[in-house]
Structure 1
Amino acid sequence: MNIEKLTCHYANIIEELDENPTRDGLKNTPERAAKAMQFLCRGYEQSLDELVNNALFESDNDEMVIVKDIELYSLCEHHMLPFIGKAHVAYIPTGKVIGLSKIARIVDMFARRLQIQENLTRQIAEAIQAVTNAEGVAVVIEAKHMCMMMRGVEKQNSTMYSSVMLGAFRDSGNTRQEFLQLIGRH
């Protein structure tokens, strides 16, 4: 990401809003905004292989592993406004487990890109599946979207839920139900 170009674009946006980008309160805003956008979209600079870094460990466990309430912050690709929520991720191992922090890092990698929640949910599930070769993967995301709250219909109490179920979670109603009960979404 080119910070100088982004800075120039933010200065132009401020000017187009009929504001003075050189006034005291705004003179450093274009650069700060550019750096903030670079941080918020840092997922583009990450790869799954580098992120996981071989943090897979042999295990006889073949029972469901769940990490719930992983906070996430993303930007809606339609309005570039934030959506904020949490992800619940589960998988059923087949001989290997992934380092716990890697699941949260995978969520962050995909969330820190311009997104829609439906695609984010699928990307996380497919990445966990690809890395672990699990018998099944389940991801549920619940989020509040500023594009719904701050503009448009202005619905302050709406929450969007999305889910992706792969393998055993898709094929077995009992497995899916156990996951949903354990995350409190039955």
Structure 2
Amino acid sequence: MKAKAPKAETLLRPSREEAEAAVKTLLAWAGDNPDREGLRDTPARVVKAYEEIFAGYKQDPSPILDTVFEEVEGYGEMVLVRDIPFFSHCEHHMAPFFGKAHIAYYPDGGVFGLSKLGRLVDVYARRLQTQEAMTAQILAALDARLHSRGAAVLVEAEHMCMSMRGVRKPGALTVTMQFSGPFKTDPAEQARFLSLVRGR
């Protein structure tokens, strides 16, 4: 039986000094001199950048959707926020992938602040990810708050691990989607969502 890898939260986090030393090692392995003037401060800069790029590990997505505005005059139709930009990093090569997320949901007695959906995307994007997992995670967070009222998530992105290396096909987009509630059970709702995402 194959042993399971330990969860990330149970691993001992290296010190900043150890992280910077690791970057210095990679610079040398790539064939450059980490002690030359242009690279001397690069390890510290990379570690500082990683704190921002991977800030999602320190963020809990649940409080983001805690605030619901109930004074919406009984509005119960679809709410769609499309073209939410994001940047993430592939967990296989640590290469960037970036694109847009489109999120729709049916209100259940209130609506979320529009900025909350953008923040929810960022929480999951600012981690080492696969696009498929990120799409599912966003929907699961919505469903936990919506109590199965129904949501739809579509993510489209370009992956640098496919554009810069390997098959080297820049411009190719990967599209993933996940549905719950009426979006999952009613093909007409899926078609309506996809039509609105495409601006038709």
| TM > 0.5 | yes
DSSP 3-state at the match of 2:156: strand
Aligned twin of 2:57: 44
Per-residue CA deviations over 1:101-146 (Å, capped at 9, x if unaligned) read 1100000000000000001001011111112335110000000000
How many angstroms apart in 1 are the aligned matches of 2:171 and 2:123? 27
User: Which of 174, 177, 185 is the equivalent residue of 1:160?
Assistant: 174
How many angstroms apart in 2 are the aligned matches of 1:96 and 1:185? 25
Amino acid of the structure 1 residue aligned with 2:95: L
Amino acid of the structure 2 residue aligned with 1:49: S
* Contact 2:148-2:180 at 8 Å conserved across structures: no
Aligned twin of 2:7: none
How many angstroms apart in 2 are the aligned matches of 1:10 and 1:56? 43
How many angstroms apart in 1 are the aligned matches of 2:77 and 2:181? 14
Say which structure is richer in strand.
Answer: 1
Compute the RMSD of aligned alpha carbons: 1.5
Amino acid of the structure 2 residue aligned with 1:57: F
Amino acid of the structure 1 residue aligned with 2:117: I
DSSP 3-state at the match of 1:14: helix
1:120-139 correspondence runs (5 A): 120-133=134-147, 135-139=149-153
User: Which of 96, 112, 120 is the equivalent residue of 1:98?
Assistant: 112
1:5 positional shift:
2.4
How many angstroms apart in 2 are the aligned matches of 1:132 and 1:84? 27
Aligned twin of 2:27: 14
Per-residue CA deviations over 1:48-89 (Å, capped at 9, x if unaligned) read 23433x311224221000000000100000000000100000
Q: 1:166 to 1:121 in 2, by over 3 A?
A: same
1:1-186 correspondence runs (5 A): 2-52=15-65, 54-58=66-70, 59=72, 60-133=74-147, 135-184=149-198
Q: 1:104 to 1:150 in 2, by over 3 A?
A: same
**Higher deviation after alignment, 163-172 or 14-23:** 14-23
1:31 positional shift:
0.7
* Contact 2:62-2:141 at 8 Å conserved across structures: no
Amino acid of the structure 2 residue aligned with 1:177: A
TM-score, normalising length: structure 2: 0.88
TM-score, normalising length: structure 1: 0.94
| Structure 1, unaligned runs of 5 or more | none
DSSP 3-state at the match of 1:170: helix
Instruction: State the identity %.
Output: 42
